[in-house]
């Protein structure tokens, strides 16, 4: 199901191939604040594909690799002889299995958001391009928030089914340290991350995600502009 995340960039690639004949030669690749082209390059289909699809494809592959990593953490866990170790292993396995469908649909939504965002950034500034960037950015944030809520609900259900004697609760993508009130939590594999059991942790997660999106977009567009 995670492969469905490739649909948005593939659809964009098909659109570019269909419209390639109408692309001017040389083709503009950068526009000034008034929307006038100020940088050109010879028409090249590979170059056009890299500009339009580079960031979305890399983003999609990263999402799929992360999802595979989550799934792999649920397999091969020894059940052990004690009820404590058995519950801990089943809790970890159940979390990894149960979040695969939400993760897959989140990958699709984030893929579409990335594709819309970079499609809007590829051309001169306009209300249409700005609208695509806004829709893509809002879609990405909304997807992350929805994923937090869904995984939180799943986490609570699994913790009731396979309670951990230590009282610690793991969530995939983020971890929850239920007994503590610290903003930073550590899971049973020694990894530190934001504690989603706290309001501050949830707010910081959204803020960090938003800042990361802005920084990545700024760096990618700046690098492309400098390269030409």
- The two counts, helices (H) then strands (E), for the chain are 6, 4
SS3 assignment, position 227: helix
pLDDT value of position 157: 74
Q: Where are the beta strands (DSSP E) in the chain?
A: 27-31, 37-41, 184-186, 192-194
pLDDT value of position 11: 82
**Section 150-160 average pLDDT:** 74
pLDDT value of position 84: 53
Q: How many domains are contained in the chain?
A: 1
Answer yes or no: is pLDDT of 143 > 80: yes
Range(s) of the domain holding residue 139: 2-227
Q: What is the mean pLDDT of the chain?
A: 68
pTM (2 decimals)? 0.57
Percent of the chain surpassing pLDDT 90: 0
Comparing 1-15, 67-81, 122-136, which segment has the lowest mean pLDDT?
67-81
Answer yes or no: is pLDDT of 37 > 50: yes
pLDDT value of position 41: 74
**Section 145-159 average pLDDT:** 75
How deeply is 72 buried, as exposed, middle or buried, from its count of CB atoms within 10 A (0-12, 13-18, 19+)?
exposed
**Section 187-199 average pLDDT:** 63
**Section 125-151 average pLDDT:** 77
Residue 209, C-beta contacts closer than 8 angstroms, at least 6 positions apart: 140, 141, 144
pLDDT value of position 5: 75
User: pLDDT tens digits, residue range 165-184?
Assistant: 555 555 544 554 444 556 66
């Amino acid at each position: 199901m995670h492969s469905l995340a490739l649909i948005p960039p593939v659809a964009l690639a098909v659109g570019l191939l269909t419209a390639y004949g109408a692309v001017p030669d040389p083709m503009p690749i950068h526009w000034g604040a008034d929307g006038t082209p100020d940088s050109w390059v010879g028409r090249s289909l590979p170059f056009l594909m890299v500009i339009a699809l580079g960031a979305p494809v890399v983003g999609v592959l990263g999402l799929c690799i992360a999802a595979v990593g989550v799934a792999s953490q649920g397999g091969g866990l020894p059940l052990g002889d004690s009820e404590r170790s058995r519950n801990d292993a089943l809790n970890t396995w159940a979390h990894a299995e149960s979040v695969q469908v939400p993760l897959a649909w989140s990958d699709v939504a984030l893929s579409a958001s990335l594709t819309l965002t970079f499609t809007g950034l590829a051309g001169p500034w306009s209300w249409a391009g700005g609208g695509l960037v806004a829709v893509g950015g809002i879609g990405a944030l909304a997807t992350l928030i929805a994923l937090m809520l869904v995984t939180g609900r799943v986490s609570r259900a699994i913790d009731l089914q396979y309670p951990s004697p230590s009282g610690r609760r793991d969530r995939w993508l983020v971890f929850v340290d239920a007994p503590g009130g610290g903003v930073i939590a550590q899971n049973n594999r020694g990894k530190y991350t934001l504690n989603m059991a706290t309001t501050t942790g949830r707010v910081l997660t959204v803020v960090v995600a938003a800042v990361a999106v802005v920084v990545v977009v700024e760096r990618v567009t700046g690098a492309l502009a400098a390269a030409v």
